[in-house]
Amino acid sequence: MFYRENGQFKTSYAADQQIFTIAQDKWFVWGLIAFAALAVPMLADEYMFRAILIPFLVLSLAALGVNLLVGYCGQITLGAGAFMAIGAYAAYNFMVRIDGMPLVLAMLLGGVSAAAFGILFGIPSLRVRGLYLAVATLAAQFLCDWAFLRIGWFTNHSSSGSVSVAKLEMLGWVIDSPTEKYLFCLAFVIAFAFIAKNLTRAAIGRQWMAIRDMDVAAEVIGIRPMFAKLSAFAVSSFFVGVAGALWGFVHLGSWEPAAFSVDRSFQLLFMVIIGGMGSIMGSFFGAAFIVILPIFLNQFLPLLGSLVGVTVSTAGISHAELIIFGSLIIFFLIVEPHGLARLWSIAKQKLRLWPFPH
């Protein structure tokens, strides 16, 4: 009844090509951003920031990057963790080796380094596809795991193998409290989400989707497969690299290579599949599902247990958590193979007609 585009007429192509063509969508998203930036810092406690919100934001950004490559360009990757690691370690090296390096610039340069490696490891995509490409990108993962563990130069010859960033400071603003860290991440995520949306609705995004949907036809209408695929690898790795730098600098503070293991790559790929391939919103849904659900189950199960008079042991909770989490993944994939983003758009479609069935 309230969510309807009646009376909103478009009189120019510019108006028709906005990100949110329905005014209610626009208000909803701006409201959400305002809530996240203004209300959440007042409502959330330190645990919420550290355990839920910051990981959620950073992994959303990484999932967004993976989604550009997997969801929009159709090139599967299992090397996302490696590109996160490259972003984090490159940003770290820019910070420690260059005096007076601004924090944000170091992170962006970390992203650029990841993009360069992304192009390198994207080259196999010109010849192989599908599972074979997944295996080829897995090589990046193992190479990085090894390099950051064994080559001392990358970690500035740290004796313990772990590296840390002393102080996060941007233009005199010292980022040390969880709230500030959260806002710092939020700014990155919002900016990058809009960049991703712009890219996917512009010519380059159409090139990626054309390559994904029908590569022969794409080539026949003049799209160069090499440019389209490698640009997707570059942009995707840039996003993932910046997310890696955020993960290391802001979330962990000090880290070792295990923080970016192959588990992380799988986790990011699952976020994209569950959230919805080829959807910006889906990346956030996927990250929320994978980050928040285990924590939610952890809190919720003892409550449920006490309700029916059963005391659940800690080990029992962690087992049940895995079981329920796994079965929920299977449930969502069966009910909606196109991910949570599709459920979201179906819900919006129904809401447009509500209270009428048709």
Partner 1 sequence: MDMTDMNSAATTTPSGRRQGEVILDLQNISLRFGGVKALTDISFNIREHEVRAIIGPNGAGKSSMLNVINGVYHPQEGRIMFRGQQRQKMEPHMAAQQGIARTFQNIALFKGMSVLDNIMTGRNLKMKCNLFQQALWLGPALREEIVHREKVEEIVDFLEIQHIRKTPVGALPYGLQKRVDLGRALAMEPQILLLDEPMAGMNVEEKQDMCRFILDISDQFGTTIVLIEHDMGVVMDISDRVVVLDYGKKIGDGTPDEVRNNQDVINAYLGSGH
Based on CB atoms, which residue is closest to partner 1, 171 or 220? 220
**Which amino acid is located at 76 in the chain?**
I
Q: Do residues 242 and 107 make contact, with C-beta atoms less than 8 angstroms apart?
A: yes
**Binding segment (CB under 8 A) for partner 1, from list 95-103, 181-189, 193-201, 242-250:** 193-201
Please compute Rg for the chain using Cα positions.
Answer: 21
Rule CB under 8 A: is residue 187 a binding residue for partner 1?
Answer: no
Read off the tokens for 179. 């709230």
Residue 10 near partner 1 by CB under 8 A: no
Distance CA 136, CA 148 (A): 19
Give strand pairing partners of 255.
Answer: 163
- Hey, what amino acid is at 55? P
Q: Which two tokens stand for residue 193?
A: 């989400």
The string of DSSP codes covering 25-49 is HHHHHHHHHHIIIIIHHHH--HHII
- Choose one: 12-20, 77-85, 132-140, 159-167; the region binding partner 1 (CB under 8 A): 12-20
Binding flags for partner 1, 278-317, as an x/- string (CB under 8 A): x---------------------------------------
Nearer to partner 1, 226 or 323 (CB): 226
Q: Is 198 in the site for partner 1 (CB under 8 A)?
A: yes
Closest approach, Cβ 126 to partner 1, in A, equals 12
220 lies in the site for partner 1, by CB under 8 A: yes
Q: Does 212 bind partner 1 (CB under 8 A)?
A: yes
For residues 249-278, which are near partner 1 according to CB under 8 A?
Answer: 278
Q: Shortest distance, CB of residue 261 to partner 1, whole angstroms? A: 30
209 interacts with partner 1 by CB under 8 A: yes
Kindly state the smallest distance separating residue 348's Cβ from partner 1, in Å.
Answer: 15
CA gap 327, 278 in Å, rounded: 24
Q: Of residues 22, 139, 195, 343, which one binds partner 1 by CB under 8 A?
A: 195
The binder of partner 1 chosen from 180, 219, 256, 336 (CB under 8 A): 219
Site residues for partner 1, window 318-337 (CB under 8 A)? none
Could you give the dihedral angle defined by the CA atoms of residues 21, 25, 30 and 32, in that order, rounded to the nearest 10 degrees? -150
> Is the bond preceding 355 in cis, omega lying within 30 degrees of 0?
yes
Name, in order, each residue with C-beta under 8 angstroms of 4's C-beta and a sequence gap of 6 or more. 24, 352
What is the Cα–Cα distance from 63 to 131, expressed in whole angstroms?
A: 19
Q: How far is CA 211 from the centre of its chain?
A: 22
Instruction: Assess 4 for contact with partner 1 (CB under 8 A).
Output: no
Which amino acid makes up residue 311?
T
**Interface with partner 1 (CB under 8 A), residue from 214, 304, 310, 322:** 214
Query: Contact with partner 1 (CB under 8 A): which of 42, 43, 203, 303?
Result: 203
Task: Give the binding-site size for partner 1 (rule: CB under 8 A).
Answer: 30
Q: How many CB atoms lie within 10 A of CB 305?
A: 16
Task: Name the site residues for partner 1 (rule: CB under 8 A).
Answer: 12-14, 16-17, 195, 198-199, 202-204, 206-207, 209-210, 212-214, 216-224, 231, 235, 278
